[in-house]
């Protein structure tokens, strides 16, 4: 074995696991990693803040289906990324973060070393799935293999590798470690048999699909069609069944009618979803509705809803196993597959709807009729709550098509506007910080998405408050030459918190921000910018289309008063 620096051993181990892109920012203590990146040809994507580094790696992972990898320096660099890692943990996104740590033999009580942190590895252990500080150069390939095995088996979540800074610069021998054969647990045959029995007997089944079903879209569609079961998704599951499929209800867990839909079912199949309060704003699954749960996480299988049958394993394998056990459809059950009635999206978000005749729990055998009924109710609720932003959503719909990616933020234009009204046609086409609910996610996540899939249109939708958290990443996107439209709905501060203060009867305070020249800010970082004065679907569609053909990002500012005018 040849002698290599710890930094070179690390990068070669990453390349052996298929890593060709790393997001990061160089610092005094990680230069040996950067020297190795230059030597090996692994692409490095430079961001402007470590939080942006983490969000970009997250967006890359969601769109590519591969772990995102990011590198920071010690102390403040790594801790700057902590918020992004916590978001990835919340949303089950595989991100590997690598940082130097204090040297081997560093005094436990500290000695004032640059970037010294009391216990850097423990700080990350409290946030990610696991934290691994290596003790030798030979251990580096082992740590990388362990990290990738962890991200590819069970519930995908971020992991952290810490390499003492002196080991990165030192030279030594390290035997390569081939990627470990790893994957989620195989669904138990006995549980599949039990689940299939319940599904076969159900007369009005329903399906709730989360982000854990994104890589099993084909199998989910097949099982929905076999059962004639309407499908409603979480935020992260949006698009796992195309919204123009006759059984699709859309991403409706945050809408009031979903509570009644769930109660109308005599059995629910929950696939890769937490059934979490952050998704289900109006309460969880009714206690009297039996649930078959499919998940790779044994803890999640029994959290938020106790299942009648719990199937531990990969969603695709579990659904395929259920489909095999269900056999051909019972012709007496009525139309339940592609040959049944269908619906088309009209393209007019503000007037779309597809209500049908209501069915009760006892006799509802026609899944398409049930789906049409509930889809109409959910879309009506979505249009009512998303009213001020529907014209923006319609322009986004025309721009993104079936294959585009919308990177959103924790802003009203996203969770009231786009979530229930933007039609999803592909898994992981709606990037959103669920659960942890951070601000500033959209722009850097879009950078990662654009790097992962440069052939797909990617658009950012943010509010002015969240935009300012990571606006510096405009400079990173401009340097990369990304044709990235960034729509910023400017309501002069933190509009949702303002609304909540008013609803409580509290004194409204600390939510109104002095005006910022957002267009000027964008231009100062090398981007195009436009402040909308004429508000219409055609005008915004035109601006978005021009932005996707540009040689750099384009910030499109939509002032709040214009939002109300267009409503």
Q: How does pLDDT run across 423-457, given as a tens digit for each residue?
A: 999 999 999 999 999 999 999 999 999 999 999 99
Per-residue CA distances from 121 to 27, 184, 214, 217 (Å): 18, 27, 32, 37
94 plus 125 within the same structural domain = yes
Which domain CATH number covers 129? Answer: 3.40.50.970
pLDDT digits (tens, 9 = 90+) for 168-194: 999 999 999 999 988 888 999 999 999
Residue 359, pLDDT score: 39
149 or 254, higher pLDDT? 149
DSSP 89-146: HHTT--EEEEEEESPTT--TT----TT--TTHHHHHHTTSSEEEE--SGGGHHHHHHH
Q: Is residue 183 part of a domain?
A: no
Q: What is the crossing angle of helices 6-16 and 140-152, to 10°?
A: 30
Of 383, 415, 435, the last residue of a domain is 383
Residue 179 lies in a domain: no
Please indicate, yes or no, if residue 181 is contained in any of the structural domains: no
* Residue 137 sits in the same domain as residue 60: yes
Which domain-ending residue is among 348, 383, 418? 383
At 115, the pLDDT band (50, 70, 90 cuts) reads very high
- Min mean pLDDT across 167-181, 357-371, 552-566 is at 357-371
- pLDDT at position 456 is 97
pLDDT for 368:
94
Mean pLDDT of 414-420: 94
- pLDDT the model gives residue 2: 80
Measured CA to CA in angstroms, residue 402 lies from 178, 378, 424 at distances of: 38, 21, 7
Same domain, 117 and 214: no
Same-domain status, 454 and 550:
yes
Res. 166 pLDDT band, cuts 50 70 90: very high
Q: Are residues 199 and 123 in the same domain?
A: no
Range of the domain at 284: 189-383
When pLDDT is averaged across residues 355-360 and rounded to a whole number, the result is 39
Judgement on whether residues 316 and 395 belong to the same structural domain of the protein: no
454 and 501 share one domain: yes
* Mean pLDDT calculated for residue range 7-34: 97
Residue 397 and residue 420: Cα distance in Å, rounded?
12
Give the pLDDT confidence of 496-537 residue by residue, as tens digits: 999 999 999 999 999 998 999 999 999 999 999 999 998 899
Both 218 and 330 in a single domain? yes
Q: How many domains does the chain have?
A: 3
Q: What value does the mean pLDDT take over residues 77-103?
A: 98
Inside any domain, residue 552: yes
pLDDT surpasses 80 at 361? no
Please report where in the chains the tokens 């990898």 appear, as a residue. Answer: 69
Output the average pLDDT for the chain.
Answer: 92
pLDDT of residue 360: 43
Last residue of a domain, one of 137, 172, 207: 172
- In this prediction, residues 473-491 reach a mean pLDDT of 97
pLDDT at 317 over 50: yes
- Shared-domain flag, residues 379 and 391: no
Task: Tell me if 182 is assigned to some domain.
Answer: no
Could you tell me which residue, 181 or 212, shows the higher pLDDT?
A: 212
Q: Note the pLDDT of residue 437.
A: 93
Tens of pLDDT, residue by residue over 244-260, are: 999 999 997 888 899 99
Same domain, 221 and 358: yes
Same domain assignment for residues 122 and 53: yes
Residue 308 lies in a domain: yes
- Same domain for 359 and 391, yes or no, is no
């Amino acid at each position: 074995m040849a002698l290599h620096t710890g930094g070179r051993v690390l990068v070669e181990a990453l390349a052996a696991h298929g890593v060709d892109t790393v997001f990061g920012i160089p610092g005094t203590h990680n230069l040996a990693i950067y020297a190795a990146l230059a030597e090996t040809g692994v692409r490095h994507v430079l961001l402007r803040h470590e939080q942006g580094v983490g969000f970009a790696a997250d967006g890359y992972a969601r769109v590519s289906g591969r772990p995102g990898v990011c590198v920071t320096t010690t102390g403040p660099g790594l801790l700057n990324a902590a918020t992004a890692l916590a978001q990835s943990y919340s949303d089950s996104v595989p991100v590997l973060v690598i940082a130097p740590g204090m040297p081997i033999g560093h005094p436990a009580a500290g000695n004032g070393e640059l970037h010294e942190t009391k216990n850097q590895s423990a700080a990350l252990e409290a946030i990610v799935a696991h934290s691994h500080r290596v003790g030798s150069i030979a251990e580096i390939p082992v740590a990388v293999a362990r990290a990738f095995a962890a991200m590819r088996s069970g519930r995908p979540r971020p992991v952290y590798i810490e390499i003492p800074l002196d080991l990165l610069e030192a030279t030594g021998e390290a035997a390569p470690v081939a990627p470990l054969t790893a994957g989620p647990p195989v669904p138990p045959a006995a549980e599949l048999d039990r689940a299939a029995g319940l599904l076969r007997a159900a007369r009005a089944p329903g399906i709730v699909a989360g982000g854990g079903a994104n890589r099993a879209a084909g199998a989910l569609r097949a099982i929905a069609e076999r059962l004639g079961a309407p499908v409603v998704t979480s935020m992260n599951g949006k698009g796992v069944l195309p919204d123009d499929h006759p059984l699709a209800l859309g991403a409706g867990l945050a809408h009031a009618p979903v509570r009644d839909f769930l109660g109308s079912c005599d059995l629910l199949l929950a696939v890769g979803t937490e059934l979490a309060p952050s998704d289900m704003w109006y309460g969880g699954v009714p206690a009297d509705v039996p649930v078959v749960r499919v998940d790779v996480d044994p803890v999640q299988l029994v959290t938020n809803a106790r299942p009648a049958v719990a199937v531990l394993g990969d969603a695709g394998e579990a659904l395929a196993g259920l489909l095999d056990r269900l056999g051909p459809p019972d012709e007496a059950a009525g139309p339940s597959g592609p040959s049944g009635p269908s619906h088309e999206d009209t393209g007019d978000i503000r007037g779309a709807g597809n209500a049908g005749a209501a069915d009760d729990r006892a006799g509802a055998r026609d899944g398409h009729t049930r789906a049409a009924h509930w889809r109409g109710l959910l879309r009506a609720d979505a249009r009512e709550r998303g009213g001020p932003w529907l014209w923006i959503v319609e322009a986004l719909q025309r721009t993104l098509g079936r294959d585009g990616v919308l990177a959103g933020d924790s802003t009203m234009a996203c969770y009231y506007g786009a979530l229930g009204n933007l039609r999803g046609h592909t898994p992981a086409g709606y990037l959103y910080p669920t659960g942890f609910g951070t601000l500033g996610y959209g722009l850097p996540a879009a950078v990662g998405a654009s790097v992962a899939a440069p052939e797909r249109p990617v658009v950012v939708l943010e509010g002015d408050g969240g935009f300012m958290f990571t606006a510096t990443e405009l400079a990173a996107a401009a340097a990369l030459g990304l044709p990235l439209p960034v729509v910023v709905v400017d309501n002069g501060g933190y509009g949702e918190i303002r609304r909540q203060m008013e609803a409580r009867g509290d004194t409204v305070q600390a939510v109104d921000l002095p005006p910022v020249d957002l267009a000027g800010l964008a231009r100062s970082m090398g981007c195009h910018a436009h402040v909308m004065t004429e508000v219409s679907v055609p005008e915004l569609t035109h601006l978005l289309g021009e932005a996707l053909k540009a040689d750099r990002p384009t910030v499109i500012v939509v002032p709040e008063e214009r939002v109300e005018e267009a409503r």
